[in-house]
Amino acid sequence: MKIAGESSRSIWLEEDGWTVGIFDQRRLPWALERMCLRTADDAFYAIADMATRGAPLIGAVAAYGLALALRVDGGDAALEAAFARLATARPTAINLFWALERVRRVVAPLASDERAAAAYAEAARLCDEDVAVNRAIGDAGLPLIREIARAKGGAPVNILTHCNAGWLATVDWGTATAPLYRAHDEGIGLHVWVDETRPRNQGALTAFELAEHGVPHSLIVDNAGGLLMQQGQVDMVIVGTDRVTANGDVCNKIGTYLKALAAQAHGVPFYVALPSGTYDPATPDGGSVPIEERSGDEVCFITGPDDAGVPTRVRVTGSPAHNPAFDITPTALVTGYVTEAGLLAGPADLARMFALSTEKV
């Protein structure tokens, strides 16, 4: 997609062919800054400190992190140490573990001096596949938006989304945003309600992306969505996900569950954009997913530029804070899963999709 008027992916190799480049998302939307990852520790801290974020992109960064480690030492001990270290960067998004295991499976049979090159090549394949998968998710979600537009006689389709499941959270296109971009590019009238998504305000990243692409949108406070649904101002909800379990439960950014409850109460379809790499058949249900607990400082402080443009950190409360990063939306609240294999209805469909995707690996 485009950033600052230029087409870009969210992760790339620098001119030296081995340093990994990413955008420092802690600075967005106020400043566009690039980061260079030169070690596996760089990749670990970029993920843990949320300089890079979004389940698919975390997987890509972790894959390259393993390649960076093997560039220094291709031995078995170094491989396992780097794998274990990177796997602890964040506990909830399954793509992190999926990508690391995929690279390890490729390099493990090789001689130590062949592993780094193979890891880089596999990480690059993973990134290219992510772009294709997200484009396919866009193709699968586009008919949903078309149908609503037809039913409304061409009036703008109002779509609510939560957190950032856009191209900044993937390698390109995004998951939840891919159908929006496809519909907008086709000329379908859209308006996107963008939840602010406290405490890290990741909705501002979605708003930034949509503005860069020219998609009409409004940033709203997290608790406005229920009122908008009650007023008939939301035609559909689409969100991303960090993990979908075997029974179809959806782990996504905190606040997603409340949107799903409101959508059910008001008859608004609730869709989850799901790449196959985010499906976790080994975890039976949402109650078995480890929920990341982040620092209470994210709730107690907020950062942004003051009127002079100077980045400022402001305390908003002196109380202790509890800060779970994700919640669980039961499968019963999900209208459908928008995947690279098409629109899927429930756990049985998801299991079939996973079986087909693993056959291709």
Look at residue 358 and tell me whether its pLDDT is greater than 70.
no
CATH superfamily of 133-360: Translation initiation factor eif-2b; domain 2 (3.40.50.10470)
Tokens of 188: 């379908």
Look at residue 1 and tell me whether its pLDDT is greater than 90.
no
| Residue 361 pLDDT class (50, 70, 90 cuts) | very low
DSSP 8-state secondary structure symbol assigned to residue 92? S
User: What is the reported pLDDT for 89?
Assistant: 95
User: What is the reported pLDDT for 25?
Assistant: 94
Rounded alpha-carbon distances, angstroms, from residue 302 to 199, 267, 288: 8, 35, 31
Task: Please give the share of the chain, as a percent, with pLDDT higher than 90.
Answer: 88
Same fold, 2-128 and 133-360: no
* Residue extents of the structural domains in the chain: 2-128, 133-360
CA angle centred on 152, ends 148 and 153, rounded to 5°: 120
- The model's pLDDT over 281-300, given as tens digits with 9 standing for 90+, comes to 999 999 999 999 999 999 99
Chain position carrying tokens 């894959």: 63
User: What is the reported pLDDT for 357?
Assistant: 64
- The model's pLDDT over 310-319, given as tens digits with 9 standing for 90+, comes to 889 999 999 9
Q: Chain-wide mean pLDDT for the chain?
A: 95
**For the residues 323-330, what does the mean pLDDT come to?**
97
User: What is the reported pLDDT for 356?
Assistant: 67
Provide DSSP, 152-176: TTTPPEEEEE-S--SGGGSSSS-ST
**For the residues 23-39, what does the mean pLDDT come to?**
94
Q: What is the value of pTM for the model shown? A: 0.94
2-128 to CATH, choices 1.20.120.420, 1.10.3720.10, 3.40.50.720, 3.30.390.30:
1.20.120.420
- The model's pLDDT over 58-76, given as tens digits with 9 standing for 90+, comes to 999 999 999 999 999 999 9
- The residues annotated as belonging to the active site are 242
**For the residues 165-187, what does the mean pLDDT come to?**
96
**For the residues 78-82, what does the mean pLDDT come to?**
97
Long-range contacts of 4-12 (CB under 8 A, 24+ apart): 4/32, 4/212, 9/127, 9/131, 9/167, 9/171, 9/172, 10/52, 10/57, 10/167, 10/168, 10/169, 10/170, 10/171, 10/172, 11/52, 11/57, 11/60, 11/61, 11/64, 11/127, 11/171
Q: At what angle do helices 76-87 and 40-48 cross, to 10 degrees?
A: 10
